[in-house]
Chains A and B, each alone.
Chain A
Amino acid sequence: MLIWVFAETAEGEGVSTTTLELLTKAREIGDTVECFIASSDASGVAATLGEYGAAKVYAVDTGDQLPGAAAAAAIAAKASEANPDLLLFATSYDGRDVSGRLSARLDVPVITNVLDIAVEGGAVTCETAIFGATKIVRTQFADASPRIVLVRPKSFGVESAAGGSAAVETVPVPDVGTAGSTRVLERHVEALEGPKLEDADIVVSGGRGLGSAEAFGLVEQLAEVLGAATGASRAIVDAGWVPYSKQVGQTGKTVKPNVYIALGISGAMQHMVGMKGSKNIIAVNKDGEAPIHAVADIGIVGDVHKVVPQLIEALKSRG
């Protein structure tokens, strides 16, 4: 099975972790793994992509366009020559745009929100979760090639294959007419403090139970003493207390830290989808019936304004 992974880079940080997750899985289920990237500097990341198992990198330089239309056209053109069996994309800003357009261009379905993929005798089976991850659905493609799959971040672990640098083949930028008229005029980057939410070993998240935007300071203080990243429920993102980049859940980030600490979060299924895979869960919620207690290893039925300051003090005094 020939698998293509749509590779992405994270702002200033080289290849994205999700790309490495996809490469690791692709190696396990495929015979040959190759990458497609929309970038002006594919040779700069070819070493990393090769290390994680890519034999080859097709690169299209879409410049300051949003990559969706042009990258999809370039992939479609190359796919008609190389005939990949399976194309893996991450559920990311660009991953959705490119895979959606590619699906329409090739007139093949795309299976989305995938958490696991299995290949057996040429059939590709995708696992997705529904109803707040209480049920697992397995779906197969009715037709072979190419099958397009959009995978949620954190679905797979990352392991190096200790491979050598991948060969880069530059692909011309196709003319897609007005669909290619998008231009990124300015970039605004918000400063990020502390460890990255998706990669942190400990995550402390706050919800509406904090009562006010100021009380998010409790979350930040606790995170600081633990060296943790801060996260949030959508309720307080929508309320404008914290930026969207902190949102954990179905429409936010998926996290799988060693320890997830939920403060004043009810545990709505759309939130749980994003954190249920954490190794350990600690919750502080004054309502003993809150759904978060049903998944917590330690569920404190109590007031965040009492428990959290005590906890911070205790941790600080340990030095």
Chain B
Amino acid sequence: MNILVCVKQIPDPAGPQELNNDNTLKREGKLILDESDSYGVEIALQLRDTAGEGEVTLISMSPGEPSGLRTALAMGADKAIHVVDDTLHGADALSTAKVLAAAVQRAGDYTLVIAATESTDGYTGTVPAQLAEILGLPSVTFAKSIRVEGGKVHVDRQTEAGYDVVEADVPAVVTVTAGVVEPRYPSFKGIMAAKKKPLETLAVSDLGLDLSSWGQNIVSVEDAPSRAAGEKIEDDGEAYLKIVEFLEEQKVI
């Protein structure tokens, strides 16, 4: 079973976050594999291994070195497609989906396209639905688990009230909720093997796309009004009384 996994490579969210002069997010320095996508990679590897055949191909669009892709290859993915192009600077969700769709179409036969429900830095949560629409495929979002049987994919889909069991024809786009599996750590052997795995680098022109504007303009960025801190109280064994008092003042008790 061939599976394509869309993975985002992002600046380390633990590091300082800054904007460029044009109000786009600074994406300098080493990019890492978005943790949100590590769950999809893990699920894809498990599905491939259960099927006993096929390949896991990673697809990513980002500037710079593909260091996040190397991490996912080291986890066990078979190969990767990296779209790198200065003209994509500041691309919006729809343009990103167009690029990913074009890369999917080059990738040959596949059963599933896996993405995360939402990315860590963009968290639009719309790229996968846009991708599915462009490809003309069914999509099932918010998967907790995925099984493929008899030409269908079965998904336990998280809902507001619990979960639904949803089926769809394959190929399909499925998005994976964070935290539903334990992503494996790359082993030393995996890291060495990753260096030799195929990694194709493409420009937008290789995909036959012409993308130039994102349909929206940032008009201002301002500091949000900050919430003033109130009283900080060291607990001396009676601090709970302060809470009781406060709740009384607010007339909730």
The interface of chain A, by Cβ under 8 A from chain B, is: 10-11, 66, 68-69, 72, 91-93, 96-101, 103-105, 107-113, 125, 129-131, 133-143, 150, 177-190, 192, 201-202, 226, 234, 237-238, 244-245, 250-251, 258-259, 261, 276, 280-282, 288, 293-303, 306-308, 310-311, 314-315, 318
Contact = CB atoms under 8 A, between A and B. Distances in A.
Contact of A110 (B17, B93, B240): B93
Nearest to A277: B227
A216 B92 CA distance: 41
B166 A66 contact: yes
B94 A125 contact: no
Chain B contact surface mostly = mixed
B130 interface: yes
Contacts of B162: 187-190
Query: What are the nearest 8 A-B pairs in CB distance?
Result: A302-B235, A100-B129, A100-B126, A297-B230, A104-B133, A109-B215, A181-B169, A190-B162
A93 B224 contact: no
Interface stretch (B46-54, B106-114, B138-146, B193-201): B138-146
Interface in B181-214: 213-214
Contact of A69 (B23, B133, B178): B133
A112 B139 contact: no
Contact of A184 (B118, B125, B164): B164
A68 B234 CA distance: 51
Interface in B163-179: 163-169, 177-179
B253 A226 contact: yes
Interface size classification for chain B: 35 or more
Contact of B224 (A134, A187, A234): A134
Given A104-B97, A105-B133, A135-B224, A186 B252 contact: no
A138 to B, nearest CB: 5
A68 B132 CA distance: 10
A298 B141 contact: no
A129 B87 CA distance: 26
Given A140-B216, A297-B246, 15 more contacts: A66-B166, A100-B128, A101-B132, A135-B221, A138-B220, A138-B222, A139-B216, A140-B219, A142-B215, A181-B169, A188-B164, A282-B243, A300-B243, A307-B235, A311-B244
Contacts of A178: 136-138, 169
Contacts of A99: 126, 129
A281 B214 CA distance: 39
Contact of B93 (A91, A112, A131, A181): A112
A282 B178 CA distance: 28
Contacts of B218: 137-139
Given A133-B224, A141-B216, A298-B246, A101 B129 contact: yes
A138 B177 CA distance: 29
Given A11-B161, A138-B219, A141-B216, A276 B227 contact: yes
B94 A110 contact: yes
Contact of B240 (A143, A250, A307): A307
Nearest to A222: B243
Contacts of A93: 141-142, 158-160
A101 B161 contact: no
Contacts of B239: 300, 302, 307
A300 B221 contact: no
Contact of A182 (B124, B168, B229): B168
Among B17, B131, B154, find the residue whose CB has the most chain A CB atoms closer than 10 A.
B17
A255 B63 CA distance: 36
Contacts of B130: 100-101, 103-104
Interface in B92-127: 92-94, 97, 117-118, 123-127
